[in-house]
């Protein structure tokens, strides 16, 4: 037994420690504008993309009722989509908003449309049934609800993160919990970027506004990102940073660069070329606005760190390290498949994945059910379970080869962190059968500050 005064001092110390931890947590609160690249049909006709706001200090009892976050919670994304239960905004926790799963280690390593649809519908049935119920025959409904979950399967996202305070969060929670949450969506005057602008202007009044010239009066996601960046420059006392959240590797079509209204028109041949033929004066005016407003000079990925769901943001993989990994993977594939030089494992894996059934294991982690000979085997497809299933080792290897081949190529590599590629390379090394003479064990390229994420 401790003497009474020592016990008292210990209780005081414990309370002070808890207060310090609580203050540190509160001090880290922020609001992050999510600038999301366009994709699919809308990306063809207009390249303005989507905007939402992530609040690290605000969580939700339900998707429609906000509250302060408890210890260990990571905040919510507030976003506006037309036709989601008649509501103006919906709050979704960060990881489900990005990946349609609840834990970062459960994100599929290589996704296709079938896997994304399965995970989205599973999350909807579990958490959004009251807002987006099944249709009469028990099947999933139509509408834009799917864009609230798993956004990173469709597109790359850029984050612009600015410091907030608990008092600001308090005021926002009161406002949004007591104001009518009814949709009056209008593409030109009340769109997703207008919603993001209003949320951020609530924290920092009159900081953001639409562009009457560059976007012909329509609020666009890129304009809001530009204005928030300028605001942070004028207020250097506020902590500000940029993030990039890369599109999940896989067969989903890759998203495209985000533009403003005039920029989208000027940089698109399907619009500007006919304009030059029909009305050179009009095309000249468009060019003058584009050059005069500097629409093309804002680069969302500039100085951005890479979002890592399981920890702090990481620096991007450097060009030299990326080339080293690409060369190592090339040698690895040549050793593993000498009869098929230049093997495109990503395409082969995509065909196998398209024929498999999607599901989850007993821990709720995504799996594929694949036919091997006369048997059906379950194969884990996330970093958390890829090595723990009953699938043949060669299939596990092909999944990781496809993942690395996809993430190291093209635009995907701009949002790749050192820790992530090192984890994937290490998982690949672990799939190599002992004594397999065809595959030589090669050490991973030198990468600094690597954090493993092994199952």
**Over the stretch 368-419, which tens digit does the pLDDT of each residue have?**
998 888 888 999 999 999 998 678 888 999 999 999 999 998 776 778 998 8
> Is the same domain home to 270 and 199?
no
Confidence grade of residue 261 (pLDDT, cut at 50, 70, 90): low
Do 186 and 244 share a domain, yes or no? yes
Question: Pick from 99, 84, 79: which is nearest to 32 by CA?
Answer: 79
- Whether residues 328 and 377 share a domain: the answer is yes
Q: Structurally, how many domains does the chain consist of?
A: 3
pLDDT value at residue 375: 85
**How large is the average pLDDT for residues 423-437?**
75
For 100-152, the pLDDT digits (tens) are 999 999 999 999 999 999 999 999 999 999 999 999 888 889 999 999 999 99
With respect to residue 424, please indicate whether it lies within any of the assigned structural domains: yes
pLDDT above 70 as % of the chain: 77
Burial code (b: 16+ CB inside 10 Å, e: under 16) for 406-442 equals bbbeeebbebbbbbbbbbbbebbbebbeeeeeebeee
Residue 217 inside a domain? The answer is: yes
Q: Flag whether pLDDT at 433 surpasses 70.
A: no
pLDDT score at 215: 73
Q: How many whole angstroms separate alpha carbon 279 and alpha carbon 273?
A: 10
Assigned domain for 313 exists: no
Residue 117 domain-assigned?
Answer: yes
Share of the chain above pLDDT 90, in %: 58
Phi, psi of 105 (to 5 degrees): -70, -10
**Residue 19 resides in a domain:** no
Give the position of tokens 């949320």. 199
**Whether pLDDT at 238 is above 70:** yes
Lowest-confidence region among 8-22, 160-174, 267-281, 363-377: 8-22
Q: Do 51 and 172 have their domain in common?
A: yes
Same domain, 273 and 405: no
> Is residue 187 domain-shared with residue 269, that is, in the same domain?
no
Q: Within this chain, do residues 55 and 197 fall inside the same structural domain, yes or no?
A: yes
CA distance 200 to 78: 11
Task: Please indicate, yes or no, whether residues 31 and 92 belong to a single structural domain of this protein.
Answer: yes
Query: What is the average pLDDT across 232-257?
Result: 94
| Tokens matching residue 308 | 């890592």
The answer to whether residues 404 and 428 touch, using CB atoms and an 8 Å cutoff, is yes
Same-domain pairing of 330 and 232:
no
Q: Are residues 196 and 213 in the same domain?
A: yes
Q: Which domain holds residue 278?
A: 259-299
Question: How far is the CA of 250 from the CAs of 12, 53, 152, in angstroms?
Answer: 53, 26, 11
- Domain end marker among 299, 327, 357: 299
Query: Is 108 contained in some domain?
Result: yes
Is 20 contained in some domain? no
Say what the pLDDT of residue 298 is.
Answer: 84
- How far apart are the C-alpha atoms of 321 and 419, rounded to whole Å? 12
- Terminus-to-terminus CA distance in the chain, angstroms? 42
Residues 293 and 215 in one domain: no
**Whether residue 345 is found in the same domain as residue 203:** no
């Amino acid at each position: 037994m401790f003497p009474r005064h020592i016990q008292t001092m210990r209780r005081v110390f414990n309370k002070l420690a808890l207060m310090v931890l609580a203050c540190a947590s509160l001090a880290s609160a922020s609001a992050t504008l999510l600038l999301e690249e366009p994709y699919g049909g809308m990306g063809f006709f207009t390249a303005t993309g989507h905007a939402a706001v992530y609040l690290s200090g605000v969580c939700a009892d339900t998707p429609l009722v906000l509250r302060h976050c408890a210890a260990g919670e990571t905040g919510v994304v507030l976003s506006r989509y037309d036709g989601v239960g008649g509501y103006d905004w919906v709050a979704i926790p960060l990881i489900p908003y990005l990946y349609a799963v609840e834990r970062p280690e459960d994100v599929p390593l290589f996704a296709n449309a079938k896997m994304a649809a399965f995970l989205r519908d599973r999350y909807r049935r579990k958490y959004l049934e009251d807002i987006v119920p099944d249709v009469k025959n028990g099947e999933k409904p139509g509408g834009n609800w799917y864009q609230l979950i798993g956004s990173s399967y469709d597109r790359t996202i850029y984050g612009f993160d600015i410091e907030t305070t608990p008092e600001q969060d308090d005021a926002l929670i009161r406002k949004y919990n007591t104001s009518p949450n009814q949709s009056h969506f209008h593409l030109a005057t009340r769109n997703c970027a207008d919603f993001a602008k209003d949320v951020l202007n609530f924290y920092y009044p009159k900081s953001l506004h639409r562009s009457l010239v560059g976007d012909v009066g329509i609020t666009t996601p890129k304009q809001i990102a530009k204005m928030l960046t300028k605001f942070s420059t004028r207020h250097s006392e506020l902590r500000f940073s940029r993030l990039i959240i890369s599109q999940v590797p896989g067969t989903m079509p890759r998203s495209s660069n985000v533009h403003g209204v005039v920029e989208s028109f000027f940089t698109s041949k399907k619009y500007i070329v006919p304009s030059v033929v029909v009305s050179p004066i009009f095309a000249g005016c468009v060019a003058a606005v584009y050059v005069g407003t500097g629409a093309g000079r804002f680069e969302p990925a500039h100085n951005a760190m890479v979002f890592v769901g399981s920890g702090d943001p990481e620096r991007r993989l450097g060009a030299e390290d990326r080339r080293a990994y690409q060369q190592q993977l090339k040698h690895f594939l040549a050793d593993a498949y000498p009869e098929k030089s230049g093997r495109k494992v990503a395409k082969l894996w995509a065909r196998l994945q398209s024929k498999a059934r999607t599901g989850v294991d007993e821990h709720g982690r995504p799996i594929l059910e694949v036919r091997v000979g006369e048997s059906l085997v379950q194969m884990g497809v996330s970093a958390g379970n890829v090595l723990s299933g009953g699938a043949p080792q060669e299939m596990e290897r092909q999944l990781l080869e496809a993942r690395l081949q996809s993430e190291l190529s093209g635009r995907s590599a701009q949002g790749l962190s050192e820790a992530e590629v090192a984890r994937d390379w290490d998982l690949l090394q672990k799939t190599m059968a002992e004594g397999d003479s065809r595959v030589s064990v090669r050490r991973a390229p030198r990468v600094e500050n690597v954090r493993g994420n092994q199952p």
